[in-house]
Structure 1
């Protein structure tokens, strides 16, 4: 039996709005991010699902907790769903990172999967954690629907992984805040069903909240 995994990106944070690299450092949801989280909660309140999982970083937990307040599910946090740690680049804009750490930022910007940012980790390390976690979740809930709140970098890497796209391929797709993505898990493999759905963010989707 397949497991339906609804993978969500957290709502917009204050650092997202400022264009700062976050990694493992955190920032609260902005006013827009709170609206986005509530829109996800409203959509999920009409959908039956078995469990709610989240990255343990504050921005993901804040999004998941607003969903939980509407649906009644406990939030199961897991550090393996975290965003990639960006070490010395965290808290900087891309322009600042390029100016202050040109060689490191240059390597980071190439999408080299095994490049470890000083004080952080590589894309392949973070993807390995996420795939392990999502595989366990899929095996734990056969024939069920599960919701997972995670991060843009994780989703971007997981998208490539599931479709067999080389990880160093430049990103030619969007990973928007509060986007809704569905993958089915069956016999150890993931299959993309829906990507980048943000229909719940239309103003009229909040009429019943």
Structure 2
């Protein structure tokens, strides 16, 4: 039986609503985000996960902990699952970023921030590392962030970098499902768990358009 990984994005925060770049800033879930995490936990617990690993940032860890309580599992923390660092853009709105850094905004490369290839490498490496601890047929839930998950999945699947924007963003407390196949990892579901809705994330504008 194949091992599977569910990549769960954290619930909503105030900065999501305000369209502020969060990056490594440790912003908590808002009231809606707490409710989203509880709903996701009730659904994902039915899959009987064997392991839960979370980013160390509060919004992801609290989302993972909601699932852990329902599933009866402890949550392991891995800093490598953090969101893409936003450098000088953290805390700023998209409007402020596009006005202050028009060239960098177009490329979605924050001054002092992380490059997409670095994020893709650290997140995919983390997923591989934890998935390797699963028994055959096991299920791992990774609680992380929008850009981190999308980039990690793209690297894990071996997509060339020019095709990474083909993967869309994830809504708050939506998830993607990966399965280990004979020739590598494949994507079974993407941005599942809710009806289509606008995605507010630290990801690039192209990845978060409706």
Normalising by structure 2, we get a TM-score of: 0.83
Other-structure match for 2:19:
19
Closer, same or farther: CA 56–35 of 1 in aligned 2, 3 Å? same
Q: Work out whether residues 36 and 173 of structure 2, in 8 Å CA contact, stay in contact via their aligned partners in 1.
A: yes
Structure 2 distance, partners of 1:168, 1:95, is 26
Residues 93-144 of structure 1 deviation map (CA, whole Å, 9 limit, x = unaligned): 1110122233332331xxxxxx5x3322101001100111111112111311
Structure-2 separation of matches of 1:195 and 1:107: 24
Q: Is the radius of gyration larger for structure 1 or structure 2? A: 1
In structure 1, runs of 5+ residues without a counterpart are 109-114, 201-209
Question: Using the alignment, how far apart are the partners of 1:98 and 1:91 within structure 2?
Answer: 14
**2:177 counterpart of 1:182:** yes
CA distance in 2, matches of 1:158, 1:125: 10
Matched residue, 1:134: 127
Question: How many Å apart are 1:28 and its aligned residue?
Answer: 1.3
Gap regions ≥5 residues in structure 2: 196-210
Secondary structure of the structure 1 residue equivalent to 2:161:
coil
The correspondence for 2:152, drawn from 147, 158, 170, is 158
1:45 match: secondary structure: helix
Name the counterpart of 1:54.
54
Q: How far apart, CA to CA, are the structure 2 residues paired with 1:172 and 1:52? A: 24
Q: How does 1:25-174 map to 2 (within 5 A)?
A: 25-108=25-108, 117-143=110-136, 144-161=138-155, 162=157, 164=159, 166-167=161-162, 170-171=165-166, 173-174=168-169
SS at match of 2:141: strand
Greater Cα shift, 133-142 or 123-132: 133-142
Q: Structure 2 CA distance, aligned partners of 1:186 and 1:135?
A: 13
8 Å CA contact 2:176, 2:189 repeated in 1: yes
Q: Which residue of 2 aligns with 1:5?
A: 5
Q: Distance in 2 between matches of 1:128 and 1:174?
A: 18
Question: Does the aligned pair in 1 maintain the 2:2–2:180 contact within 8 Å?
Answer: yes
Report the CA distance between 1:156 and its aligned residue.
2.0
Worse-superposed segment, 155-164 or 167-176: 167-176
TM-score, normalised to structure 1's length? 0.83
Total equivalences in the alignment: 194
CA pair 167-27 structure 1, distance change in 2 beyond 3 A: farther
CA distance in 2, matches of 1:2, 1:41: 23
Q: CA distance change for structure 1 residues 17 and 84 in 2, over 3 Å: closer, same or farther?
A: same
